[in-house]
């Protein structure tokens, strides 16, 4: 009896293994697999061998699973009757109802222990489990190779003859989602930021690059510094030096009528007037993708793009540096010199600059602020909800957060105190 029980347990274990490896192989991230195969270590050699013929590997797992289930069925039937129905004489024909009982109990046990749970588990951790369990999988791959080769040949023959379908193959062409999943997993596994993880971060930024729009990276209107077209050269030079700017915008009447910009470098040429050194700007809508903006600016050799709103007014500016930052991280320029306050008092109380982006705060402090297209920053979130620029000292609640305005100007919020209230 104990021997039969041990055999049943072993059969369920192997069935779970084969079933899990089958779903792990199907769910395997192809980028992860190709990276691991290039590592030149023990596991890479095994992975190369078992994934060389995908259909044969799948056939091996299916055969192994079925063999395990057959062995389970041979020993479980008698054991179930012995435990649950000891009064039955098994030397005589068994009633149909007892066969139903056996089937239901066995099916339940198999579905839970050898099918559902292992498949869910192996699917979630498919990359790691497939790698570290590749050795026993390879052993069974070799043991069952004669049988799996026969089945593989038959299946491929039938597929090619009647459906004109080729056998399942692992493609070396990766989708954007597969690359993104691999990068996210690698970043999650990195405990420290080193050169390798920095490269991965750049790769991730490149994947997200195509979906970022102008309004997400622009310098907002309130922070734009510009001068009138009739301003003399000396005054412009003083403004550039005093503000620490590399370039300054030139407008007609007001900032909604930008004519172009002049750079600090041009000032060394000692120009007689603005007209001789002014450079063109490109006008773009808020919704334009930054990948398209970069193409336009590089083709036209223009350094600054003015972002316009739906009414034709200036809502911000974008430079080449702002776009490059999306790929390679922060590149310090005059607009980055603003001191952004980011202070955690305790687990529930914080002080933040209104310029800090909502997705950054959610990621670092788990504030759970809604992330929608109507705003990008913490200040934008507050204005979006209050429909006005609050006054200094104003206290209000939005969701599970309590906000107190600490510093504010006539046009924008500067500093905010944030408290998690539940």
- Give dist(CA 284, CA 191) in Å, integer: 40
Of 136, 163, 190, the residue that ends a domain is: 163
- Give dist(CA 17, CA 28) in Å, integer: 16
Is the residue at 168 inside a domain?
no
Residues 205 and 313 in one domain: no
**pLDDT tens for each residue of 352-383:** 998 888 888 988 888 989 888 778 889 889 98
- Give dist(CA 293, CA 320) in Å, integer: 9
Helices 54-84, 2-27: inter-axial angle, 10-degree rounding: 150
- Give dist(CA 133, CA 376) in Å, integer: 45
- Give dist(CA 16, CA 10) in Å, integer: 10
- Give dist(CA 293, CA 210) in Å, integer: 11
Degrees to nearest 5, angle at CA 22 with 20 and 24: 65
The number of C-alpha atoms within 13 Å of 32 and in the hemisphere containing its C-beta is 22
Token pair 């430079």: residue: 319
pLDDT at 186: 54
Is the residue at 169 inside a domain?
no
**pLDDT tens for each residue of 174-203:** 454 554 555 556 555 554 444 444 444 555
Residues 198 and 319 in one domain: no
Radius of gyration of the chain (CA): 33
In 228-370, where does DSSP find H-type helix?
A: 233-243, 264-267, 290-300, 320-328, 358-365
Per the structure, the complete domain to which residue 18 belongs is given by 2-163
pLDDT at residue 44 tops 60: yes
Residues 204 and 218 in one domain: no
Q: What is the domain-level CATH number for residue 369? A: 3.30.465.10
Residues 10 and 158 in one domain: yes
Neighbour tally for 400: CB within 10 Å: 12
pLDDT at 216: 81
Sign (positive/negative) of CA torsion 302, 308, 313, 319? negative
Sign (positive/negative) of CA torsion 282, 288, 289, 292? negative
pLDDT at 258: 93
Residues 399 and 363 in one domain: yes
- Give dist(CA 418, CA 405) in Å, integer: 9
Residues 319 and 351 in one domain: no
Is the residue at 259 inside a domain?
yes
Residues 22 and 154 in one domain: yes
Is the residue at 170 inside a domain?
no
Secondary structure letter of residue 277 according to DSSP: T
> Can you list the positions of beta strands (E) in 24-175?
none
Q: Rounded to an integer, what is the distance from CA 124 to the centroid of its chain? A: 16
- Give dist(CA 422, CA 406) in Å, integer: 22
Is the residue at 171 inside a domain?
no
Structure tokens, 95:
């009633």
- Give dist(CA 406, CA 225) in Å, integer: 25
Average pLDDT over the chain, rounded to an integer? 80
Residues 27 and 159 in one domain: yes
- pLDDT band at residue 389 using 50, 70 and 90 as cut-offs: confident
Is the residue at 131 inside a domain?
yes
CA distances from 67 to 61, 74, 327 (A): 10, 11, 52
Residues 253 and 274 in one domain: yes
Sheet with 247-252: strands ordered across: 226-228, 247-252, 254-263
Most confident stretch, 204-208, 330-334, 345-349: 345-349
Helices 320-328, 195-209: inter-axial angle, 10-degree rounding: 120
Token pair 């507050």: residue: 382
pLDDT at residue 207 tops 80: no
Residues 323 and 374 in one domain: no
**pLDDT tens for each residue of 253-288:** 889 999 999 988 888 878 888 888 899 999 999 888
Is the residue at 296 inside a domain?
yes
Residues 248 and 190 in one domain: no
Residues 8 and 133 in one domain: yes
Q: What is the domain-level CATH number for residue 267? A: 3.10.580.10
Q: How many domains does the chain have?
A: 4
Structure tokens, 285:
């809508």
Is the residue at 235 inside a domain?
yes
Specify whether the CB–CB gap between 211 and 320 falls below 8 A. no
């Amino acid at each position: 009896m104990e021997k039969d029980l041990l055999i049943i347990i072993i059969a369920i274990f192997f069935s779970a293994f084969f079933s899990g490896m089958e779903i792990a192989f199907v769910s395997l991230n192809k980028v992860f697999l190709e990276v691991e195969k290039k590592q030149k270590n023990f596991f890479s050699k095994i992975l190369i061998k078992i994934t060389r013929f995908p259909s044969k590997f799948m056939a091996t797992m299916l055969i192994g699973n079925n063999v395990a289930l057959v062995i389970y069925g041979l020993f479980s039937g008698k054991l179930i009757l012995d435990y649950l129905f000891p009064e039955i004489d098994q030397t005589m024909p068994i009633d149909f109802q007892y066969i139903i009982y056996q089937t239901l109990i066995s099916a339940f046990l198999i579905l839970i222990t050898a099918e559902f749970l292992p498949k869910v588990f192996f699917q979630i951790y498919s990359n790691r489990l497939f790698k570290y369990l590749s050795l026993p999988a390879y052993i069974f791959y070799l043991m069952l190779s004669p049988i799996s080769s026969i089945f593989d040949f038959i299946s491929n023959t039938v597929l090619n003859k009647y459906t004109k379908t080729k056998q399942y193959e692992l493609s070396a062409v990766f989708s954007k989602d597969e690359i993104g999943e691999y990068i996210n997993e690698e970043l999650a596994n990195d405990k420290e930021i080193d050169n390798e993880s920095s490269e991965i971060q750049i790769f991730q930024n490149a994947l997200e690059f195509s979906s970022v729009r102008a309004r997400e990276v622009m310098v907002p209107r309130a922070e734009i510094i510009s001068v009138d077209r009739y301003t003399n050269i000396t005054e412009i030079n003083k403004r550039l030096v005093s503000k620490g700017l590399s370039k300054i915008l030139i407008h007609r009447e007001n900032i909604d009528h930008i004519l172009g910009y002049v750079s600090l470098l041009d000032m060394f040429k000692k120009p007689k007037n603005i007209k001789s050194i002014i450079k063109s700007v490109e006008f773009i809508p808020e919704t334009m993708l930054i990948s398209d903006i970069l193409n336009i600016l590089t083709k036209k050799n223009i350094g600054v793009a003015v972002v316009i709103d739906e009414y034709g007014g200036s809502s911000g500016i974008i430079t080449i540096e702002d776009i490059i930052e999306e790929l390679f991280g922060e590149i310090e320029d005059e607009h980055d010199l603003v001191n952004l306050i980011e202070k955690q008092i305790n687990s529930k109380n914080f002080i933040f600059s209104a310029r800090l982006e909502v997705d950054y705060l959610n990621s670092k402090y788990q504030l759970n602020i809604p992330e929608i297209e109507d705003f990008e920053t913490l200040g934008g979130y507050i204005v979006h909800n209050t429909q006005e620029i609050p006054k200094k000292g104003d206290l209000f609640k939005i969701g599970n957060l309590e906000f107190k305005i600490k510093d504010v100007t006539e046009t924008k919020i500067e500093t905010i105190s944030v408290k998690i209230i539940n």
